[in-house]
Amino acid sequence: MGRRHFGTDGIRGRAGEDPITPAFAEKLGRALAGILGAPATRPVVAIGRDTRASGPALERALAEGITSAGGEVRLLGVLPTPGVAAIVAADGLAAGAVISASHNPAHDNGIKFFSGDGFKLPDAVEEAIEEGLERAAATGPARGGIMAATGAGARYVACALASLPPGFSLAGMKIAVDCANGAAWQTTPEALHQLGAEVTVFHAEPDGSNINLGCGSTEGHEISRLVRETGAQVGLAHDGDADRLLLCDETGDPLDGDELLAMAGLELLRRGELADQTIVATVMSNLGLNEAMENAGGRVVRTAVGDRYVLEAMRAGGFTLGGEQSGHMIFSRHATTGDGLVSALQIFRLMAETGRPLSELRRVLKKYPQAQRSLAVKAKPPLDELPAVQAATRAAEETLGARGRVLVRYSGTEPKLRILLEGPDAAVLEQHAELIADEVRAAIGA
């Protein structure tokens, strides 16, 4: 049957429009409970959310759907996505749900699920849930209970801090933090305060409509400005649900996920803690990452775009580190999903133990030039049905030859098309990226 609603990171769209409505969320809750064996097994599902105004109504509807089918619900309140995953796994619950649209604007929202082990659901289970939507029916008045859990934020902070050696301290480190007015507005500052860092917190006043608004990990200029203004040694920005991060060095220059992967991978390799001397990255990551790892005796395994695919490859190969250029990083010894706080702590540990600033540590990665575009589209027809786009893509591939690569793909979470070109000549890359983009705009541009 395939997945009609689920993308690479759950179900996402504009709140109040199908499928991001309370009515759909309730039906989704019933379908999830049925897959988990309700009512016979009375599965317990934890629900967390970010700070969007549409969150509470979706939370309530999802919970009512689960309980009407015979499941039980624990409401964790506002909590980063990795916090929900950690609590589900620690408490041995049947599943977890997160109501969030991550880095999307406040008018969007979404729903994604974790299995009882804290990992995202595989495609086959999401397909089964979609099939269950067609026959999901309430079994009468709410049969299960809804309980508001307390202390979820503190539990998540403790879990994140446990990823560091006993007695580790960030005393003397000055950190600027952009919480994106999102789910980490309390937890990340608290974790850093507990480690003794000097923390200056920004964008930690969520009002339901300001999540990711001019701030957060997709707005690198903001954390750059904050670092320069505060004189911080490092800047940290999250997205709305804090499963990713953006770090900025002391000069105000942001680092991308490839630089963080290279730094972390080489450090774990040096410590003998990198399983099979391998890190996992997506096809979007810079080819310089391969060179950096191979020169040190390691290697890179690549996957399709999406942290779910990175994690699947990590689990299949028993690897311990993976991530995306966007800032999703997975340290599998410490988390079951992308975790912006845990990832930041691992980089801060490297800074503290080496005494070197990020501006020096980042030099381990020598990146190939890239040209990227992210284009809004009105529809997502198969790319092979767009002859002008295909022709522009082939022309770029012929120009770059074996010394470069071209990737054109749709986003799995937004109505956008992504273009990536990589090769030795930045000017040539920009020229061909714009030629492809022009054809996309003419064919399906918003």
Mean pLDDT per 10-residue segment, the chain (446 residues): 78 96 96 93 97 98 95 98 98 98 97 96 91 71 84 98 98 98 98 98 98 96 98 98 97 96 97 97 92 96 90 96 94 96 98 97 94 94 95 96 91 89 94 96 87
DSSP state of 327: S
Return residue ranges of the chain for CATH 3.40.120.10.
11-150, 156-255, 257-339
- Looking at the DSSP bridge assignments, the partners of residue 199 are 175
In the structure encoding, which two tokens stand for residue 182, read together? 């999102």
- Dihedral sign for Cα 349, 351, 352, 353, please: positive
Q: Is 113 helix (H, G, I), strand (E, B) or coil?
A: strand
Rounded CA-CA distance 280/321 in Å is 6
Looking at the domain 257-339, which fold is it? Alpha-D-Glucose-1,6-Bisphosphate; Chain A, domain 3 (3.40.120)
In the chain, what's the furthest Cα-to-Cα distance? 65
Q: Where are the beta strands (DSSP E) in 229-349?
A: 234-238, 245-248, 254-255, 278-282, 299-303, 321-323, 329-331
The CATH code that applies to domain 156-255 is 3.40.120.10
β-strand 416-422 against 198-202: which pairing, if any?
A: unpaired
As a dihedral over the C-alpha atoms of residue 436, residue 439, residue 440, residue 442, rounded to 10 degrees, the angle is 160
User: What pLDDT was estimated at residue 122?
Assistant: 87
Closest CA to 256 of 179, 157, 351, 367: 367
pTM of the model: 0.89
Q: Is 289 helix (H, G, I), strand (E, B) or coil?
A: helix
287 vs 56, 258, 293, 324, 361, CA distance in Å? 43, 10, 10, 13, 18
β-strand 174-178 against 234-238: which pairing, if any?
A: parallel
Catalytically annotated residues: 102
φ/ψ (deg, to 5) at 278? -130, 140
Rounded CA-CA distance 314/319 in Å is 5
> Which helix (H) or strand (E) covers residue 45, if one does?
strand 44-49
How far apart, in Å, do the first and last CA atoms of the chain sit? 29
User: What pLDDT was estimated at residue 1?
Assistant: 46
User: What pLDDT was estimated at residue 217?
Assistant: 95
Whether the bond into 19 is cis, omega within 30 of 0: yes
The CATH code that applies to domain 370-444 is 3.30.310.50
User: What pLDDT was estimated at residue 123?
Assistant: 86
User: Are the C-beta atoms of residues 227 and 235 closer than 8 Å to each other?
Assistant: yes
The C-alpha angle 413, 121, 125, rounded to 5 degrees, equals 105
In the structure encoding, which two tokens stand for residue 233, read together? 């040694």
User: What pLDDT was estimated at residue 323?
Assistant: 96
Looking at the domain 11-150, which fold is it? Alpha-D-Glucose-1,6-Bisphosphate; Chain A, domain 3 (3.40.120)
User: What pLDDT was estimated at residue 94?
Assistant: 98
